[in-house]
Structure 1
Amino acid sequence: MDFELTKEQQMIVDTASKVGQDFGLEYWEAQDKAKSFPWECWQAICDTGLAAVLLPEENGGAGLGMLEMALIVEALAEGGAGSTLGQLFMINPIFGGVSIEQFGTEEMKAELLPKLANGELNFCMALTEPDSGSNTLDMKSFAKEDGDGWRLRGQKIWITGVSSAGKMLVVCRTRKLEDVEKPTQGISMFLIDTDRKGLSHTPIDKLGTHTLSASSVFFDDVRIEPHELIGTLHNGWRELLQVLNTERIVTTAGLIGAGKLATRLAVEYGNERKVFRNRPVTAYQGIQFPLAESHAELECARIMNLRAANLCDLNQPYGSEANMAKLVAARATMHAIERSMQTMGGMGYAREYHVERLWRDARLFKFAPVSEEMILNFIATHNLGMPKSY
């Protein structure tokens, strides 16, 4: 892997950095307080072409790769948004863009991808269920055949961005678990309207990531049309995994940007804050070493994430790298933010210094979109050859 950015990649990073700074700390503080979707920022991201970096040129995109997307998310997050910026890319270019571009029909691509690129249409994905959690294969939501289409009944929980989305990628069973040989069989993906009759959702009051809603979603005999199938009927599990692995990359990029932002805020504050013999607190090793350690941890996570993105672009397996990068980044970012708060002392606890928001947002990603424990399960079995423990 060549670690030197091309001129085009550097230009993309510079553009993302400028947008990130234009919508800086004060903007995100206000959006967080209002619990409001960052429409202005997302539209600016779309207007500069950053949201469409993965999409084919014929559908309004740049035809580039996951490496460029990771660089974009990292730069935007570092500008002031923090880790929740990765969620904007998760719900739109990933849940919407990757699923449609890789598994959608030509008609679906022509109709929906340009709307994603220009900011006209937002997406979300309904996957997690109350009784299954990380055990996705035990999902109960079921789409029963109804003429040439289906009728969907069930419930999902912790679904991000429903209130701001026009389309929802729904993952459900089309064959019941007891009727298939393997639990990975009988799963399908559909792309439906969020205002569909029988579909309802209620918000979940939560600790952080306030700019994107989380909801419980209910499907009460929701009609799904034949053209709304994404991918292969009854065999959508492996196709879903391709979407979820790219989700890991943008999540990790957002975390790394947040960790770098928190470290910068700590250094800026510490260089100005003078105590004991009128020296800045950053002159003491007790402050220096934790921040330096966080910087090293973040850089290691970043390199692993860029490796995962590069392998993805080369059409090589990258699941292990994406999972390991997410594991390390979530820990490194929490270390960086908490060390930043410790550097600031009491002011790190104050809203006006922004670090508390970064902490509230980043804490989610220790267990979402995949928990540390499930990543360690994956590494143990896939990378180390240990027997399955669950």
Structure 2
Amino acid sequence: MDFSLSDEQRMVVETARRIGERFGPAYWRDLDARKAYPAEAWAAICEAGLCGVALPEEYGGAGLGMLEMALAIEQLAAGGAGATLAQMFMLNPIFGGVSLARFGTAAQKRDLLPGLIRGEATFCMALTEPDAGTNSLELRSFARAEGDGWRLNGRKVWITAVPQATRMLVVARTARIEEVRRKTEGITLFLIEPDRPGVSHAPIEKLGTHTLPSSSVFFDEVRLEAADVVGEVGRGWPALLEVLNTERIVTTAGLVGTVRLALRLAVDYAATRKVFGDRPIGAYQGLQFPLAQAHALNEAAALLNHKAAALCDRGLPYGSAANQAKLLAAQAAAQATERAMQTMGGMGYAKEFDAERLWRDARLFRFAPVSEEMVLNFIAQHDLGMPRGY
């Protein structure tokens, strides 16, 4: 195994590092306070070609892979954004890019991928439902056949960046659970405009990730056409899994960057803060050891995530590695942000020192986009061969 980066990968890393530093902690602190969308940062990311780093060259992308995307996100998150930066990549090159590049029609790719890569088209995905949650196979949003199209009714919850999106990837049933042999059958992906007649949404107030709003979404007799289908009618489950597994890689990369940022903030503070005599508090092992432990766990998560991304790029199974990396990274981020706040004492509770924002934002990823418990279920069943217990 070769852990060195290619010249192309080093260029991606350096480009992302410069943009990450350009939009540092103060930028994201201000957006968090105003609950404002990071349009300027995303425009710079797209202008630098990082949005399309893993998307096909024929549509304006770089034609690289998920590994390069993960490396870029790590740097962007570490520059000042923290974990919420990864959500921008989930929304666009994953929900929009992966679904279209791998499963879209020629017309869909031609019409939408160039705008996505340039940052002119933005995406969201309507998957989670109030009565299904993590168990996506229990989703009940239903598109009944009508003429050469469908009428969609249902409700989604915790859908990110709906007001800013120009396209929404909707996961719905075109055959009811009671009508199929397996629950994986009868699921279809549709790509529609969020302002299509019959679509409405309402904001959800939340603890963190304030730069990207979350919404409940309602579908009331929404007309769907054949041209809206991504992939095959009734056979959308494998495509959805591909989107969700690549989402894991992106999530982990953002958490890895978050840990590096939180540790840097804590170490810098501890290097100058003196309480008892002339020795800085950074000399105390009671502060050093928890930060060192979080660092070690984070580096393990990064390497496992790089493995998952490399396997994905080679067309090999990568779901186990992606899930395990996400589990470790979320735990490392929880430890690092908590201990950064503890290192700073009272100032860790102050917004101007940024640790509390990183802590609030990273907390989401202990249960999203998949909970720790479900990842452990996956590991027990698929990696250890234990019986399904849920």
The one-letter code sitting in structure 2 at the alignment partner of 1:350 is A
Counterparts of 1:334 and 1:139, CA distance in 2:
30
What is the CA distance between 1:135 and its match in structure 2? 1.2
* Equivalence for 1:323: 323
Q: Letter of the 2:108 partner, please give it.
A: M
Q: Give the partner amino acid of 1:173.
A: R
Aligned match of 1:137: 137
Q: Which shifted more, 289-298 or 355-364?
A: 289-298
Q: 2:69 maps to which residue?
A: 69
Deviating runs (4+, > 4 A) in structure 1? none
Aligned to 1:279: 279
Match of 1:198 in 2: 198
Q: Give, in whole Å, the separation in 1 of the partners of 2:197 and 2:176.
A: 24
Structure 2: how far apart are the matches of 1:92 and 1:343? 36
- Secondary structure of the residue aligned to 1:3 is coil
Question: 1:299 maps to what in 2?
Answer: 299
Matched, 1:211 2:211: yes
2:287 maps to amino acid: I
Structure 1 segments unaligned to the other structure (5+ residues): none
Q: SS of 1:223's equivalent?
A: strand
SS in structure 2 of the partner of residue 4 of structure 1 = coil
| Counterpart code for 1:149 | G
| SS at structure 2 position matched to 1:256 | helix
Which amino acid in the other structure matches residue 316 of structure 2? Answer: Q
Provide, for residues 59-81 of structure 1, a one-character-per-residue CA deviation record: whole Å limited to 9, x for no partner: 01000000000000110000000
SS in 2 for 1:150: strand
Question: Paired residue for 1:334?
Answer: 334
Residue 284 of structure 1, CA deviation: 1.1
Deviations 1:68-97 (A, max 9, x none): 000001100000000000000000000000
Q: 1:190 offset after TM fit, Å? A: 0.5
Q: CA deviation at 1:278?
A: 1.2
SS at match of 2:261: helix
| Displacement of 1:277 | 2.1
- The answer to whether residue 48 in structure 2 is matched with residue 37 in structure 1 is no
Give the secondary structure class of the aligned counterpart of 2:163.
Answer: helix
Match of residue 22 from structure 1: 22
Letter in 2 for 1:318: Y
How far residue 290 of structure 1 moved from its aligned partner, in angstroms, is 1.0
What are the within-5 Å matches in structure 2 for residues 150-229 of structure 1? Answer: 150-229=150-229
How far has the Cα of 1:328 moved from its partner?
0.5
Alignment of 1:112-131 (within 5 A): 112-131=112-131
- How many residue pairs are counted as aligned between the two chains? 390
TM-score normalised according to structure 2 size: 0.99
Q: Secondary structure at the match of 2:338?
A: helix
Match of 1:146 in 2: 146
Question: 1:295-346, CA deviations, whole angstroms, 9 ceiling, x for partnerless residues?
Answer: 1111000000000000000100000000000000000111011111111010
Alpha-carbon distance in 2 for matches of 1:142, 1:291? 48
- Which residues of 2 match residues 89-104 of structure 1 at below 5 A? 89-104=89-104
* Aligned residue number for residue 232 of structure 1: 232
Q: Could you tell me how far 1:233 is from its partner in structure 2?
A: 0.8
Distance, in Å, in 2 between the alignment partners of 1:184 and 1:15 is: 41
Measured in 1, the distance between the counterparts of 2:70 and 2:150 equals 37
Matches of residues 4-15 of structure 1 in structure 2 within 5 Å? 4-15=4-15
For 1:389, the equivalent position in structure 2 comes to 389
Amino acid of the residue matched to residue 232 of structure 1? Answer: E
Q: CA deviation at 1:225?
A: 1.1
The answer to whether residue 105 in structure 2 is matched with residue 105 in structure 1 is yes
Unmatched tracts of structure 2, length 5 or more: none
Deviation at 1:202, TM superposition (A): 0.3
Q: Which whole-Å CA distance do the structure 2 matches of 1:144 and 1:36 have between them?
A: 37
CA distance in 2, matches of 1:43, 1:63: 20
Measured against aligned partners, the alpha-carbon deviations of 1:23-80 in whole angstroms (never above 9, x if no partner) come to 1000000110110110000000000000000111110100000000000011000000
Aligned counterparts of 2:362 and 2:256: Cα–Cα separation in 1: 10
- The alpha carbon displacement at 1:275 in A equals 1.8
State the identity as a percent.
Answer: 62
Amino acid at match of 1:171: V
Partner AA of 1:191 in structure 2 = L
Whole-Å Cα distance in 1 between the matches of residues 133 and 290 of structure 2? 35
Matching of residues 44-63 of structure 1 within 5 Å:
44-63=44-63
Q: CA deviation at 1:291?
A: 1.0
Give the C-alpha shift of residue 2 in structure 1: 1.9
User: In structure 2, what residue type is equivalent to 1:23?
Assistant: F
Query: How do 1:79-90 and structure 2 match up within 5 A?
Result: 79-90=79-90
- Give the letter for the 2:292 counterpart: A
Q: Distance in 2 between matches of 1:332 and 1:114?
A: 36
Amino acid at match of 1:288: Q
Output the CA distance in 2 between the equivalents of 1:110 and 1:238.
Answer: 23
What is the distance in 2 between the residues matched to 1:157 and 1:119?
25
Give CA deviations for 1:112-141 in whole Å, capped at 9, x if unaligned.
Answer: 000001110100000000011111111110
